Chain A
Amino acid sequence: MKLDAKIPEGPLESKWTKYRSKVPLVNPANKRNLEVIVVGSGLAGSSAAASLAEMGYKVKVFCFQDSPRRAHSIAAQGGINAAKNYQNDGDSVYRLFYDTIKGGDYRAREANVYRLAEVSVNIIDQCVAQGVPFAREYGGLLKNRSFGGTQVKRTFYAAGQTGQQLLLGAYSALQRQIGMGNVQMFARHEMLDVVVIDGKARGIIARDLVTGNLERHFGHAVLLCTGGYGNVFYLSTNAMGSNVTAAWKAHRKGAFFANPCFTQIHPTCIPVSGDHQSKLTLMSESLRNDGRIWVPKKAGDTRHPNDIPEEERDYYLERRYPAFGNLVPRDVASRAAKERCDAGFGVGNSKQAVYLDFKSNLINKYGRAEAAKLGIQNPSMEKLIALGKEVVKEEYGNLFDMYKQITGEDPYEVPMRIYPAVHYTMGGLWVDYNLMTTIPGLYALGEANFSDHGANRLGASALMQGLADGYFVIPYTIGAYLSSEIKTKAIPTDHPAFEEAEKNVKSTINQLFSIKGSKSVDYFHKRLGKIMWDKCGMARNEKGLISAIDEIRALRAEFWKEVRVPGSADEFNPELEKAGRVADFLELGELMCVDALDRKESCGGHFREEYEEDGEALRDDDNYKYVAAWEYKENTQWNLNKEDLVYENITIAKRSYK
């Protein structure tokens, strides 16, 4: 199949404005007859659902948590980017566009990224209008902080709880539409299949997680806003329920899956403490604004960090990347941490950790600034620390508390121990400029699509993309499709395609119960995670990937023979939910390895050990400057389709942060 990204003609700067004003409209009377299903209530889903309902469409929203407000967007910490240039530091739409393409190691689509940078400014306006309490200066203006991979301050934030505040804004807009009767909400529901009729997406099969009933829902269009699939690694910063099921079912029905191997491993997470570990916790990238990363210069140094003098510390990021220092992009920082730990310089019990130290900024940056403000002459060290603490508390208080809760150590006193962990998936369902997948009428928004981040996402850009997709892109682009659907009457859900889809879902569920094996779902999930982390994680090589594919196949076969799912299908049954999700991860994991094996280059988060130069990723633009869009054949066989990436506005270059 020839992939058509449907990128509008014309100069980059005017593509979107021109397209937006020419996209066919649906008149208000017709909108009331058009039904849109939105699966997911995170930033992408809530913002899309609220906006579409405001425009007059009939909307149904689904999420598996007990309330739309609990989608994992709630956990985003550090901030959201926007090219407002409020700091007068030279930011612009072009610069945000450029930083994003470069940060993504030249593997993203120019037109989409430019549009993202363009609408970023509207997002902040929208959120503020909703009452989102962003951080402010004394004068009442909005405040900004810096994030990795950029040299301007363009990140808006609310302490370490930016995702929470943005999601509560979108949630309140959604609740307003629910209250007005324009949106029907289905919480504690899980989508288990898409229904395709005459080649178009026409609805979904969902399971009511409380009663266990399977339900059929019709929609003229279906939007998947179901988040990322980082939990294929078992341990990640995602929520326990985050999964790939919705996207995977769509993939099996014909939606191409793009760049599945592009995974973001975040450099600053709390390290694993034991086998009981169920998830990993992020320490926001914004902390790298104020924390310095180091390991001891001496391998195997067991001294307490506070006893290691300044000259015996190796601030390896500052040493290797003087221009960006601690603010290099995530993939670079993660690999550098792994390199130091593998070489024997790691700290803590496991030796799989490095220090993130706030002491010098507590004292020098904040302590001295506060002392100067208060007119304190020659402040003592204690005074400086106390003053600095106050500022840091305000900026990141909840993160410091979280760290202390989890590790039992006080990061105001002792440097944090951190290590990279799986955090975000750049890969996802392939979409065109309209955000439509290869199934007409089926859209993917937010982290669920393969998106705008290429091979590596810059910090604070996922929140921006989720809200851009939902508030400002889909409300326009969906018109291109729905304007030709106004004559389609709602299809009754006794249509054979609905019957068939429901029957398949039911038979999978029955099959899971019928195995009555001896091992729990988590047993398989942990094993899959280990294979993925060891062989398709921060560093990959041909041999490892080939053996990972075999191991995953064997594990999948074992799962379908040995898994034990307790209870029954007609009740609230979290083990059944997990089993279905892990079954899908066991297929996705294989595709990720297939993709990683196929891409014989290193770029962004995809680091193939065979392709490097002085420890830096070695891209191969002649052969791999494409989006790998995988088409599902049967029995986990895939066809590769390539979307060539054309750079007309950016000269592609070796990515350097030195």
Chain B
Amino acid sequence: MSGTMNLTLKVWRQKNKNDKGAFATYQVKDISPDMSFLEMFDVLNEQLISKGETPIAFDHDCREGICGMCSMYINGRPHGPLKGVTTCQLHMRSFHDGDTIVVEPWRAQAFPVIKDLVVDRSSFDRIIASGGFVSVNTGNTKDANNILIGKEDADEAFSAAACIGCGACVAACKNASAMLFVSAKISQLAMLPQGDPERKRRAENMVETMDEEGFGSCTNTGACSAECPKEISLEHIARMNREYFGAKFTSQNVK
């Protein structure tokens, strides 16, 4: 076939969380530029299975950039070379015949490796459980149009809520900070009247859980937002800091 590529892949293999892990090198041939990066991995895995070897474990599900499950660190960048694109939406037309591609899992203390390229991101769920919600039980509501929200605020809240919880921001950060992820949720709810009554508690509780989970601190390098596949803005971190310090300043919830 014309226009196809032959590639060398250096992939992180690690049997389980206790294994030390190491890179292994593989060759793949006749890769079409129209394939997605994960389809290229499918080809490699089929090859490994047919040779009686263990295929490479990687997380993925929707393969359309929205579930946040895929998580490969490609040539030193989370989700690879393109801006605003998840691993599953990266296509092989971004690579060239003869390239060597290095693929690793997210690396962060709070994201232990489960196997090969699969990591445990349950710390993100625990952060949300500590405050990333509006406390409203089912049925406890009024007519939706009784809450007016200006278009600009709604749009801004939406752009924060677009976070897919993939963890690339943590993987990109030299301190493995989760500030961008946490700030996106705090900021979304802080901008909406529904989130207002709990804004102080929310900011305090979520930041505290984030620290407990072992994420590093934020030193404002901006790598998170630059690598975020949903281009979540650094402004949310600024807004979150206002929320958090504001909350601490007037806290009745002193710990």
Contact = CB atoms under 8 A, between A and B. Distances in A.
B72 to A, nearest CB: 15
Contacts of B150: 136, 138, 140
A402 interface: yes
Contact of B135 (A159, A164, A176, A279): A176
Given A139-B148, A277-B39, A70 B162 contact: no
B162 A164 contact: yes
Interface string B19-62: 00000000000001011101100110010111011110101111
B91 interface: yes
Contact of B124 (A67, A125, A178): A67
B69 A70 contact: yes
B66 A140 contact: no
Interface in B132-180: 132-145, 147-151, 154-155, 157-158, 161-162, 164-165
A129 B137 CA distance: 9
Nearest to B128: A175
Interface stretch (B95-103, B112-120, B213-221, B240-248): B112-120
A84 B146 CA distance: 13
A272 to B, nearest CB: 10
Interface stretch (A4-12, A303-311, A564-572, A603-611): A564-572
A402 B63 CA distance: 11
Contacts of A66: 59, 69, 120-122
Interface stretch (A166-174, A411-419, A445-453, A528-536): A166-174
Contacts of B42: 276, 278, 522
B149 A405 contact: no
Contact of A567 (B54, B140, B157): B54
A405 B34 CA distance: 10
A566 to B, nearest CB: 5
B89 A406 contact: yes
Given A131-B134, A176-B133, A522-B42, A75 B69 contact: no
B222 interface: no
B125 A67 contact: yes
Contacts of B203: none
Given A128-B144, A138-B150, A276-B39, A75 B139 contact: no
A142 B147 CA distance: 9
Interface string A161-188: 1001100100111011011000001010
Contacts of B145: 84, 86, 141-142
A566 B32 contact: no
Contacts of B49: 520, 564, 566, 575
B100 to A, nearest CB: 21
A54 interface: yes
A168 B185 CA distance: 10
A190 B121 CA distance: 18
Given A136-B154, A571-B115, A572-B16, A65 B61 contact: yes
Contacts of B63: 239-240, 278-279, 281
Contact of A142 (B135, B136, B144): B144
A401 B62 contact: no
Nearest to B52: A566
A268 interface: no
Nearest to B48: A566
A172 B158 contact: no
B133 A130 contact: yes
Contact of B151 (A129, A140, A172): A140
A133 interface: yes
B162 to A, nearest CB: 7
Given A68-B125, A131-B188, A179 B130 contact: yes
A69 B121 CA distance: 12
B192 interface: yes
A492 interface: no
B68 interface: yes
Given A131-B157, A276-B39, A126 B141 contact: yes
B187 to A, nearest CB: 12
A75 B65 CA distance: 9
Contacts of B61: 65, 70, 72, 239-241
A559 interface: no
Nearest to A67: B125
A158 B59 CA distance: 27
A581 B35 CA distance: 24
Contact of B65 (A185, A402, A573): A402
Contacts of A282: 64
7 contacts: A125-B142, A131-B157, A131-B188, A135-B154, A136-B149, A172-B128, A279-B64
Given A51-B137, A67-B122, 11 more contacts: A54-B137, A68-B125, A129-B147, A130-B134, A133-B161, A173-B138, A210-B114, A239-B61, A475-B138, A522-B42, A574-B55
Q: Which 9 A-B pairs have the closest CB atoms?
A: A140-B148, A179-B129, A172-B133, A133-B158, A128-B144, A175-B129, A51-B138, A125-B141, A129-B141
Interface of A: 47, 50-51, 54, 65-70, 72, 74-75, 84, 86, 122, 124-131, 133-142, 158-159, 161, 164-165, 168, 171-173, 175-176, 178-179, 185, 187, 210, 239-241, 273-274, 276-279, 281-282, 394, 401-402, 405-406, 408, 471-472, 475, 518, 520, 522, 564, 566-567, 571-575
Interface of B: 15-16, 32, 34-36, 38-39, 42-43, 46, 48-50, 52-55, 57, 59-69, 84-85, 89-91, 93, 114-115, 118, 120-122, 124-125, 128-145, 147-151, 154-155, 157-158, 161-162, 164-165, 188-189, 192, 194-195
